């Protein structure tokens, strides 16, 4: 059956660049032996892996979250500043191994500056205190003659960092989290932290912990919604089943819409959603394999199906552009990483290429689009603890988004073909200004589990071709299991 896709000239608002953000945590080899490796010949004098910086710059990281994750809940920022040789070696009792503290706040800020990313810091609600959070904010953002601002200057950083994004806690709804508490307890802590942190620096934006649980989210929003700027949601899915993995995109969409409906119900239109951890994560049994006993690595071997999942998430975030205004892939390197390292080599996974496709080939103005496609029902397994299966109806085989890039005057049509066979599309652009040239960029492969590895790092990459354009309507054939963007210029 042919799928009918119609793009309309109606503009449906801006897509925030920050949906293409990333996350780095002191987990396994994400920071050490990942983005930061003082021994690698690929690193600069600061220990930053230049090959990773170049790869990430290509996909223009707009915002970077740090230091966790679960790690943030037991992190004391003052352990990671000042002369490196004086910093304490500590147990990373969250993920195992030794935390050298050689990568701390100043290194993180420099790293963000190098990438051109906004830093996003998560304060500890576990073993941390309000005093510590305020001191961290002072260290980063103030130019006062007071202790922590002075400390930053003495550490060689005369200008305040002006960190805008501050997360208050991480996943404190879960018993795995240091600082686990009830929704009411969290809501009151959030209110206090936000009130006093914004009292110190009015320019900051605060991200609250959302739980993907309406009771928790309602309690938090009702109590502190008037003070906060974002509420977060975390989603990890995937399995070795192809449709189970790609359909989980639509499970995520349902959960994002549920959160959006709570925000709207409470008339808190200023509160936006930060989808600040999302990814595929299911190979739980393989995670405790660090060289040091008990170190957690979580190095998922991402394949084509995971790249299509990422592309699907981008389409969902385009559709929800009014509310979903920030997102951070969990994570950037090695641990759940879209980039893998082994010695001095790196591998870019299909998830990385999905970022390349959407960041570099779609616009930031959303256009209206209708898609008439076949759909399916599914009961799928998903391997992350706590949620073993989901059931969905009417999952589309073809999905997409239409955008306009005002700067380049480019109309982009993104189309994902989740079928495991070719799909024929009738693309209707009538009513839009006729464009002369159509360049297509495609992420695809020959099997759902096909992946890039150190022996063959380029098996999956974006391929491009030029299409013949028609006036108004055109026929397209999409490769099986593919995400394509057609740029009309």
Q: Least separation, in Å, of the C-beta of 274 and ligand AHR?
A: 13
Interface with ligand AHR (CB under 6 A), residue total 11
| Residue closer to ligand AHR (CB basis): 141 or 239 | 239
Can you name the residues that pair with 98 across neighbouring β-strands? 91
Residue 427 and residue 474 in contact, taking contact as beta carbons nearer than 8 Å: yes
Of positions 138, 235, 277, 356, contacts ligand AHR by CB under 6 A? 277
Residue 229 and residue 168 in contact, taking contact as beta carbons nearer than 8 Å: no
Q: Least separation, in Å, of the C-beta of 330 and ligand AHR?
A: 4
Helices and strands counted in the chain (H then E)? 9, 23
| Residue closer to ligand AHR (CB basis): 245 or 412 | 245
Can you name the residues that pair with 442 across neighbouring β-strands? 463, 484
- Which residue, among 405, 406, 410, has the nearest Cα to 437 in the 3D structure? 410
How many Cα atoms sit within 13 Å of 445 on the Cβ side? Answer: 22
Residues with Cβ within 8 Å of 204's Cβ and at least 6 positions away in sequence, in order, are: 137, 141, 163, 164, 165, 166, 197, 198
Q: Least separation, in Å, of the C-beta of 30 and ligand AHR?
A: 9
Assign 3-class secondary structure to 233-288: EEEEECCCCHHHHHHHHHHHHHHHHHHHHHHHHCCCCCCEEEEEEEEECCCHHHCC
Interface with ligand AHR, residue 331, by CB under 6 A: yes
| Residue closer to ligand AHR (CB basis): 68 or 119 | 68
User: Which pair of structure tokens corresponds to residue 317?
Assistant: 């975030």
Q: Least separation, in Å, of the C-beta of 236 and ligand AHR?
A: 7
Q: Least separation, in Å, of the C-beta of 203 and ligand AHR?
A: 26
| Residue closer to ligand AHR (CB basis): 70 or 484 | 70
Interface with ligand AHR, residue 171, by CB under 6 A: yes
User: Which pair of structure tokens corresponds to residue 293?
Assistant: 């006993």
Interface with ligand AHR, residue 330, by CB under 6 A: yes
| Residue closer to ligand AHR (CB basis): 35 or 367 | 35
Interface with ligand AHR, residue 178, by CB under 6 A: no
Of positions 100, 170, 274, 482, contacts ligand AHR by CB under 6 A? 170
Residue, CB closest to ligand AHR: 69
Q: Least separation, in Å, of the C-beta of 360 and ligand AHR?
A: 25
Q: Return d(Cα 295, Cα 93) in angstroms, integer.
A: 9
| Residue closer to ligand AHR (CB basis): 184 or 284 | 284
Q: Least separation, in Å, of the C-beta of 352 and ligand AHR?
A: 17
| Residue closer to ligand AHR (CB basis): 73 or 412 | 73
Q: Return d(Cα 473, Cα 425) in angstroms, integer.
A: 10
**End-to-end CA distance of the chain, in Å?**
29
| Residue closer to ligand AHR (CB basis): 36 or 441 | 36
| Residue closer to ligand AHR (CB basis): 171 or 487 | 171
Q: Return d(Cα 477, Cα 489) in angstroms, integer.
A: 20
Q: Least separation, in Å, of the C-beta of 170 and ligand AHR?
A: 5
Q: Least separation, in Å, of the C-beta of 68 and ligand AHR?
A: 5
Q: Least separation, in Å, of the C-beta of 183 and ligand AHR?
A: 17
Scan residues 53-72 and list those touching ligand AHR (CB under 6 A): 68-70
Can you name the residues that pair with 22 across neighbouring β-strands? 64, 329
Interface with ligand AHR, residue 126, by CB under 6 A: no
| Residue closer to ligand AHR (CB basis): 331 or 484 | 331
Residue 412 and residue 488 in contact, taking contact as beta carbons nearer than 8 Å: yes
Interface with ligand AHR, residue 25, by CB under 6 A: yes
Residues with Cβ within 8 Å of 445's Cβ and at least 6 positions away in sequence, in order, are: 303, 304, 350, 459, 460, 481
Which spans of this chain sit near ligand AHR (rule: CB under 6 A)?
25, 68-70, 170-171, 234, 277, 330-331, 336
């Amino acid at each position: 059956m042919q799928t009918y896709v119609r793009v309309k000239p109606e503009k449906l608002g801006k897509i925030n660049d920050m949906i293409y953000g990333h996350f780095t945590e002191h987990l396994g080899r994400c920071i050490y032996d990942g983005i930061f490796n003082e021994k690698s010949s690929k690193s600069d004098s600061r220990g930053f892996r230049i090959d990773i910086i170049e790869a990430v710059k290509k996909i223009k990281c707009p915002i970077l979250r740090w230091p966790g994750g679960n790690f943030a809940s037991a992190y004391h920022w003052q352990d990671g500043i000042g002369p490196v040789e004086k910093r304490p070696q500590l147990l990373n009792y969250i993920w195992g191994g030794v935390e050298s503290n050689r990568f701390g706040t100043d290194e993180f800020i420099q790293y963000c500056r190098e990438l051109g990313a906004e830093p996003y810091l998560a304060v500890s609600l576990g073993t941390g205190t309000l005093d510590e959070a305020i001191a961290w904010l002072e260290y980063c953002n103030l130019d006062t003659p007071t202790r922590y601002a002075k400390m930053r200057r003495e550490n060689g950083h005369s200008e305040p960092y002006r960190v805008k994004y501050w997360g208050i806690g991480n996943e404190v709804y879960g018993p795995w989290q240091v600082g686990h508490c009830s929704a009411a307890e969290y809501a009151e802590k959030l209110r206090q932290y936000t009130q006093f942190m914004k009292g110190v620096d009015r320019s900051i934006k605060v991200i609250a912990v959302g739980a993907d649980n309406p009771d928790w989210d309602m309690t938090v929003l009702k109590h502190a919604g008037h003070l906060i700027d974002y509420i977060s949601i975390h989603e990890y899915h995937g399995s070795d089943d192809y449709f189970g993995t790609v359909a989980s995109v639509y499970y995520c969409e349902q959960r994002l819409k549920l959160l959006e409906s709570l925000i709207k119900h409470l008339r808190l239109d200023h509160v936006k959603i930060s989808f600040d951890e999302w990814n595929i994560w299911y190979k739980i049994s393989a995670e405790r394999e660090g060289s040091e006993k008990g170190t957690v690595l979580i190095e998922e071997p991402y394949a084509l199906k995971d790249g299509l999942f990422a592309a699907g998430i981008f389409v969902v975030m385009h559709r929800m552009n009014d509310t979903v205004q920030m997102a951070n892939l969990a994570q950037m390197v090695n641990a759940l990483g879209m980039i893998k390292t082994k010695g001095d080599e790196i591998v870019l996974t299909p998830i990385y290429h999905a970022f390349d496709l959407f960041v570099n080939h779609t616009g930031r103005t959303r256009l209206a689009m209708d898609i008439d496609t076949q759909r399916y029902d599914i009961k799928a397994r998903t391997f992350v603890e706590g949620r073993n299966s989901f059931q969905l109806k009417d999952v589309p085989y073809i999905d997409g988004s239409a955008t306009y890039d005002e700067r380049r005057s480019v109309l982009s049509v993104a189309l994902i073909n989740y079928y495991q066979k070719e799909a024929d599309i009738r693309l209707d652009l009538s009513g839009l200004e006729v464009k002369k040239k159509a360049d297509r960029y495609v992420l695809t492969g020959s099997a759902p589990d096909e992946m890039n590895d150190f022996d063959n790092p380029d098996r999956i990459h974006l391929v491009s071709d030029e299409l013949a354009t028609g006036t108004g309507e055109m026929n397209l054939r999409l490769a099986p299991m593919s995400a394509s963007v057609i740029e009309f210029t």
